[in-house]
Amino acid sequence: MLQIIWFTALFPYVVLLVLLGRATTLSGADQGLMYYITPRWEELLGPGPWIDGATQIFFAYSIGTGALPALGSYNKFHHNCYNDALITCVVNTLTSLLAGCVTFSILGHIAQEQGAEVADVVKSGPGLVFLTYPEVVLTLPGAPAWSAIFFVMLVILGIDSEFCIVESFVTGMVDYWPEVLRPHRKKFTLGICMLMLALGIPMSSSEIEGIELALHWGGAYVFQLMDFYSASGMSLLWVCFFQTIAISWIFGANKFIECVHQMMGIRPNRFWYVCWVFFAPAVMVSIFVFYCVRYEPTKYGKSYEYPWWAETMGFMMSFSSMIWIPAYAIYYVVTSPGSLKQNLLKGLQPNIKSRVKIPKGEKTAVIPMSESSAGLLTKNNSFLVQ
């Protein structure tokens, strides 16, 4: 399994470097690169770049998806995840810049071939990888072989991404119902994969019978709608904001710093305290409000506008992941014994029942947890101390 992960993680870089070497030698590549590195400040007046930027950061680092807490729960108790976080951020950023250089080198070449501006051939979305990258692959010696390698790389990237997505969901469910699901983890994981496959079929179909639109609504239209609403920055901003508040304000940033210190032997400086408590929540709220005020409906391509009922479905998909936070808060306050004020104050307290001592020098192999525990609580809501 370890060898598979290493291969799926490193093989795309080999292909990307080959494409970079060829793309930068194409005619017009310099125009594309200049377009890539030239800032366009007027674009910042709209909500699009901010939401797209936040979404890219969240997805690139798997923030708010549950993948990081799920995978982190398999670390040794004293594992230095601080270094892991720094390495991940640096590698991810460099990878994005590298992929951007390849992409815009190709777009510059396409623009020169068509006699158009780079801005006119730039297209975002999933179609970019299937239209832009094959353009340079076809110019390589042995193009059929490189084409096969390129699309194998895409499959590998998809599988690699699914490792984290599936593992985050499966780990949360298994940790919540360990007696029922842990003995059947493999079967449960297989069932989740089959369910996700079935749910993804509408996004890969060429046409859905019975739906009449100006354009036949195939899988690409469904994918664009779900990508914009269900998996967009709006939902992730909402979830990540409350996760940040839960850790930095309710659990307590100082207490969290002590947790990091006892686990890794280093104490995060005040910069991280300010980011967790003030800067990150303020930025997320600002972007979310900006998005709501300057909301623009999604489009497929540059011209097709979705009908009103499709927009309604999109909002319902967004709310389906956002509504549970305030809904459970209201449910807890209303149904718990005691007055409204008492329940509200109790609900804003960390759910820690006891402090479990860990013998000095002992390391825990796996800490069972749910994502809400952020890896600091055991199954019985005990706080690990040494």
Q: Does the residue 330 lie in any domain? A: no
In this predicted structure, what is the pLDDT of residue 112? 84
Q: Does the residue 159 lie in any domain? A: yes
Is 92 annotated as contributing to ligand binding? yes
In this predicted structure, what is the pLDDT of residue 363? 44
In this predicted structure, what is the pLDDT of residue 84? 86
In this predicted structure, what is the pLDDT of residue 327? 92
| Secondary structure of the chain as H, E, C letters | CHHHHHHHHHHHHHHHHHHHHHHCCCCCHHHHHHHHHCCCHHHHHCHHHHHHHHHHHHHHCCCCCCHHHHHHCCCCCCCCHHHHHHHHHHHHHHHHHHHHHHHHHHHHHHHHHHCCCHHHHCCCCCHHHHHCHHHHHCCCCCHHHHHHHHHHHHHHHHHHHHHHHHHHHHHHHHHHCHHHHHHHHHHHHHHHHHHHHHHHHHHCCCCCCCCCCCCCCCHHHHHHHHHHHCCCHHHHHHHHHHHHHHHHHHHHHHHHHHHHHHHHCCCCCHHHHHHHHHHHHHHHHHHHHHHHHCCCCCEECCCEECCHHHHHHHHHHHHHHHCHHHHHHHHHHHHCCCCHHHHHHHHCCCCCCEEEECCCCCCCCCCCCCHHHCCCECCCCEEEEC
**DSSP assignments along 277-334, one per residue:** IIIHHHHHHHHHHHHHHT----EETTTEE--HHHHHHHHHHHHHHHTHHHHHHHHHHH
CB of 352 within 8 A of CB of 381? yes
Q: Does the residue 386 lie in any domain? A: no
Q: Does the residue 157 lie in any domain? A: yes
Amino acid code (one letter) for 303: S
Is 381 annotated as contributing to ligand binding? no
Q: Does the residue 211 lie in any domain? A: no
CB of 241 within 8 A of CB of 285? yes
Is 75 annotated as contributing to ligand binding? no
The reported pTM is 0.75
Q: Does the residue 258 lie in any domain? A: no
The domain in which residue 50 lies consists of 1-203
Residue ranges of the chain with per-residue pLDDT less than 50: 207-217, 354-355, 357, 360-386
In this predicted structure, what is the pLDDT of residue 40? 82
CB of 125 within 8 A of CB of 298? no
Cα angle value 168/187/226 (rounded, 5°): 45
Rounded CA-CA distance 236/330 in Å is: 21
Amino acid code (one letter) for 215: L
**Residue recorded with tokens 């909301």:** 295
Q: Does the residue 212 lie in any domain? A: no
Domain count, the chain: 1
Is 157 annotated as contributing to ligand binding? yes
Largest CA distance in the chain: 75
Q: Does the residue 301 lie in any domain? A: no
